[in-house]
Structure 1
């Protein structure tokens, strides 16, 4: 915990500073949600196809970036909202301009009580 996943259209690949974003989001998660730095884990999952409305996906005119942060239960709604807003602000800073319209979103949710992990 926290489990962070970033799903993104692969057309933002060259415009997205993923390493810088992950580090900044980890720092924000530690500060805002009292997570331990070594507990922050992020996976980036590029998507080869993004469909937007009725537009032809082959036009590559739109890109989506969605951040999901899973935390152990116990954080207030205000804490989750602050972390969500911070994630969006960090996306503004770490995804540069490109030949696409960017649609960015974020959510912070509680991990299910069944969540378990191990380290090796």
Structure 2
């Protein structure tokens, strides 16, 4: 926990500093939700086929799904979502004539069904 999945339009690959985004999000969010830095896991999925609105090639998207263990207040989740969105936009860099829809969803993991083991 937390489990973070980022989906992004393939055309953003050269514009989106994914590693820097993940590291910044891990650091900021760990303090916000009182979770250890080593517990954060982020995976990125490049999307080759994305259609937004009328389908213009310059309409791109990036979406962050941030799943945390239950028990945090709605206010804390809203603050976490806004923090993630601000970091996301900051790490997009110059989008060079494109329009990017950046979105974040913060949700609870199904606590009773979440299992973890660290193997060394």
Distance 2:85 2:11 in 1: 19
The match for 1:88 among 77, 85, 88 is 85
The answer as to whether partners of 1:11 and 1:60 remain within 8 angstroms in 2 is no
Give 1:106's aligned residue.
104
The whole-number CA distance in structure 1 between the counterparts of 2:103 and 2:74 is 17
* Residue of structure 2 equivalent to 1:42: 42
2:56 is the alignment partner of 1:64:
no
Are the aligned partners of 1:84 and 1:107 in contact in 2 as well (CA < 8 Å)?
yes
SS in 1 for 2:13: helix
Secondary structure in structure 2 of the residue aligned to 1:25: helix
Secondary structure of the structure 2 residue equivalent to 1:50? coil
Contact residue 50 and residue 60 of structure 1 kept, 8 A: no
Following the alignment from structure 2 to structure 1, what is the Cα–Cα distance between the partners of residues 86 and 72? 20
Runs of 4+ off more than 2 Å: 117-120
What is the aligned partner in structure 1 of residue 73 from structure 2? Answer: 76
The gaps in structure 1 that reach 5 residues or longer are none
State whether residues 30 and 36 of structure 1, in contact with CA within 8 Å, keep that contact through their aligned partners in structure 2: yes
TM-score (norm 2): 0.92
User: Matched residue pairs, number?
Assistant: 117
Q: Contact 1:16/1:96 (CA < 8 Å) preserved in 2?
A: yes
Deviation of the 1:62 alpha carbon: 1.1
Separation of aligned partners in 2, 1:110 and 1:9: 25
When the two structures are superposed, what TM-score results if normalisation uses the length of structure 1?
0.92
SS at match of 1:88: helix
